[in-house]
Amino acid sequence: MRMRVSLFVLAFALACAMSAAAQDHGSWMAASKTAYSITGSINIREAKLTINFLTFPIAYTRSLQPAEVAAVFDADANSAGNGTLYRLKIPAVQRFLNKNTLCGSEQTQWMATWVSGKTLSVAFFSGDDIPVFSFEAINKSTDMCGIYFYSR
């Protein structure tokens, strides 16, 4: 009996984590000058990111805590919304709109998202190591490539 209850609790926790991550899924229209000039609209699915008709595999890494979201996106740590970190690999030579890249001469390896209402904020990072999401680390980071804003 205990085993069933434990399995149920584990399954419920996993389902909640996946639904929180899924809030950023779907089509998003560019809503900032940076997004308009580099990515255009994007589409996030369970295992892929589409930018300008180019598709890249992504892997859910973990949910972001409110303080981490605040550090990356300069948001109120008490505001509603969900943050997610994904692993991806977009080659440095990949060009998007206006012949722009996401991380200059570095491969894009991480994507952090934050959904608040009908707004999506996305930060791209280079570097092999998982980004550290504190105000101090973000301010000193040479791996953060840019922040983009989208809407529905």
Look up the pTM and report it.
0.84
What is the model's pLDDT at position 45? 96
What is the model's pLDDT at position 53? 92
**Secondary structure string (H, E, C) spanning the chain:** CHHHHHHHHHHHHHHHHHHHHHHHCEEEEECCHHHHHHCCCEEECCCEEEECCEEEEEEEEEEECHHHHHHHHCCCCCCCCEEEEEEEEECCCCCCHHHCCCCCCCCEEEEEEEEECCEEEEEEECCCCCCCCCHHHHHHCCCEEEEEEEEC
Mean pLDDT by 10 residues, the chain (152 residues): 46 43 88 96 97 96 94 78 93 96 97 95 97 94 96 96
- Domain boundaries defined on the chain: 2-151
